[in-house]
Amino acid sequence: MNKKILFLLAMLLVLVVAAPVFAQDTLTVLCTPQEDWCVAMTQAFQEQTGIQTSYVRMSSGESLARIRATADNPEFSVWWGGPADAFIAAKDEGLLEQYESPTATAIPADLKDPDNYWTGVYVGALGFCSNNEILAELGVDVPASWADLLNPALEANVAMAHPATSGTAFTAFWTVVTLEADKLEYPDGKPAEGETVEGTGEGYDETGTPTQQAVDNAFGYFAQLNNNILQYTKSGSAPGTMAGNGEIAVAIIFSHDCVKLQVEGFEGVLVTSFPEEGTGYENGGVAIISGGPEPEAARMFL
């Protein structure tokens, strides 16, 4: 074997060995919150570390589907944002890497995975984002309950995301399931905190899971609401933009998304309200994707 071939083989060996090191000069993030947050988080990490950081923005349902589809050859190293239920599903399917971030100690135990597969990074309450001008034209008050959304005057004037693609919509559905379970379990009203009242057993089973009747009742509610839905969007925050642009009267979104729109130019046009029966919330998470291309950079991000 001549010296030239030996030299080329040696260089090839150097490149193969060094490849994992060079790979850590980049980081690819699958990002679920609004675009502004995706830009801010990845740019801040890049500025602090010098690691070239890119992202792809998808809703939580799309993100989970993408991670599942590419499990044999992951495209992303970090998954940031979106309701915890998607992270729980990903953990159960072996799609996340176990890692305890040193910064996770600041997060309350009930807002992170006990086995360190994901950590909560923010909390957001579900609410209604309404266009005052459209409501006035329709002669409808700002909605203050889930029941208010069934008003026939709101026909084709409500929008929400689709549960198959959005964690926002899934949160809305599960909120109504829980409310229906409470009504079945406590016909005279849910007991106050600290008060002990024996339930009927019709709303929750022995494990505390809502019964099938509660789920069926929730489907019944959304079947009625469907009469007033103009569009089911792919993204959880998109209905808020529709409300701001005057396409609809009411959007079912996380309240911080409505506040963001108000700050960006819709103050006085959009108003945030919450259902008096109760509402749900998201615990947005972050996790390392199992087998991702940049594990060291991913750990730095967390």
Domains of the chain, start order: 24-122+284-301 (3.40.190.10), 124-282 (3.40.190.10)
Residue with tokens 């005052």: 132
191 close to 206: Cβ distance less than 8 angstroms = no
Residue 297 burial (10 A CB sphere; 0-12, 13-18, 19+): buried
Whole-number Å distance between alpha carbons of 249 and 142: 9
Residue with tokens 């019709």: 202
Amino acid at 271: V
Lowest-confidence segment of 131-140, 146-155, 262-271 by average pLDDT: 262-271
Q: Among 129, 238, 221, which Cα is nearest to 180's?
A: 221
Q: Taking the CB of residue 167, how many other CB atoms lie within 10 A of it?
A: 26
pLDDT of residue 23: 44
243 close to 249: Cβ distance less than 8 angstroms = yes
Whole-number Å distance between alpha carbons of 146 and 148: 5
| The two three-digit tokens of residue 63, written as one number | 């993100």
pLDDT at 15 over 90: no
% of the chain exceeding 90 in pLDDT: 77
pLDDT at 201 over 60: yes
pLDDT of residue 247: 98
Lowest-confidence segment of 23-37, 123-137, 232-246, 278-292 by average pLDDT: 23-37
| The two three-digit tokens of residue 124, written as one number | 């957001």
pLDDT at 20 over 60: no
